[in-house]
């Protein structure tokens, strides 16, 4: 009986790590939805992906009362994320010295008082669905980086504006900033964005 429990524990741990950040990115030259009440977004919205993924009421966000201003929150997220530029990528790592893609995003949003799930596929169900043309600074950006594209999330980063996003890249083996216009692979593999910072701010003010 003890052997079975131990074996099941190993299997569960392996599955959790495997889904943490399945980033089959190219070589450096080649890369269930929930509608939640978050700052500035208090009404339910119709999300296109809801036809594909069921709502999971178990996913939630928590905003830190000390940082209620979305504009300040976005700036905090950006500044904090950039302090980790160059930190080594390690699959399954959650810091503080190494990160995988979703470990990185979870840490950055957690430090801003926003609790999101551990793995990229679950992170992709939190907040408000955002299409590519409507991305704003502070949004999470999700990708299908698998060789055979299936539309399933396998990678996540944070949008910085002007086409730039920061992420823990398995290809670069570190946390880097890429631009969609310079990285055709990521532009083609982009799935959607998710906004967990309120919508009551304007791009002009950012």
**Cβ neighbours for 86, distance < 8 A, ≥ 6 positions apart:** 174, 175, 176
pLDDT at 198: 78
Give the model's pLDDT for residue 22.
Answer: 57
Number of domain units in the chain: 1
Of 21, 72, 76, 101, catalytic: 101
What integer pLDDT is reported at residue 40 of this predicted model? 33
Which residue reads 């055979």 in tokens? Answer: 148
pLDDT of residue 54: 31
Identify whether the C-beta of residue 62 lies closer than 8 Å to the C-beta of residue 52. Answer: no
Q: What is the mean pLDDT of each run of 10 residues along the chain (206 residues)?
A: 48 48 46 32 29 35 56 95 98 97 98 96 97 98 95 98 98 98 95 86 43
Question: What is the model's pLDDT at position 69?
Answer: 84
62 in active site: no
Known catalytic residue at 155? yes
Q: Is 147 exposed, middle or buried (0-12, 13-18, 19+ CB in 10 A)?
A: exposed
Catalytic residue among 62, 76, 155, 202: 155
Position 29 scores a pLDDT of 33
Q: Of the candidates 190, 201, 200, 92, which has an alpha carbon nearest to the alpha carbon of residue 144?
A: 190
- What is the CATH number for 78? 3.90.1720.10
Per-residue DSSP letters for 21-83? Answer: ----PPPTT--------BTTB-S----GGGGTS---TT------TT---HHHHHHHHHHHHHT
Predicted pLDDT of residue 177 = 99
Q: Is 167 a catalytic residue?
A: yes
pTM above 0.75, yes or no: no
> What range defines the domain where residue 138 resides?
2-205
């Amino acid at each position: 009986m003890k052997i079975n429990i131990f074996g099941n524990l190993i299997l569960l741990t392996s599955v959790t790590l495997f889904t943490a950040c399945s980033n089959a990115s190219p070589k450096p030259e080649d890369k269930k939805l929930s509608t939640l009440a978050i700052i500035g977004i208090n009404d339910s919205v119709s999300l296109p992906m809801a036809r594909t993924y069921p709502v999971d009421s178990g996913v939630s966000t928590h905003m830190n009362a000390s940082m209620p201003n979305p504009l300040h929150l976005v700036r905090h997220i950006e500044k904090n994320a950039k302090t980790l530029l160059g930190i080594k990528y390690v699959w399954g790592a959650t810091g503080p010295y190494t990160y995988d893609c979703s470990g990185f995003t979870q840490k950055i949003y957690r430090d801003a008082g926003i609790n999101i799930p551990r793995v990229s596929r679950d992170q992709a169900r939190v907040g408000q669905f955002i299409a590519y043309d409507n991305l704003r600074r502070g949004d999470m950006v999700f990708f299908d980086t698998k060789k055979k594209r299936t539309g399933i999330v396998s990678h996540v980063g944070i949008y910085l504006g002007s086409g730039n996003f920061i992420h823990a890249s398995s290809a670069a083996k570190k946390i880097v900033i890429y631009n969609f216009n310079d990285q055709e692979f990521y532009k083609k593999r982009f799935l959607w964005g998710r906004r967990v910072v309120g919508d009551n701010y304007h791009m002009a003010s950012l």
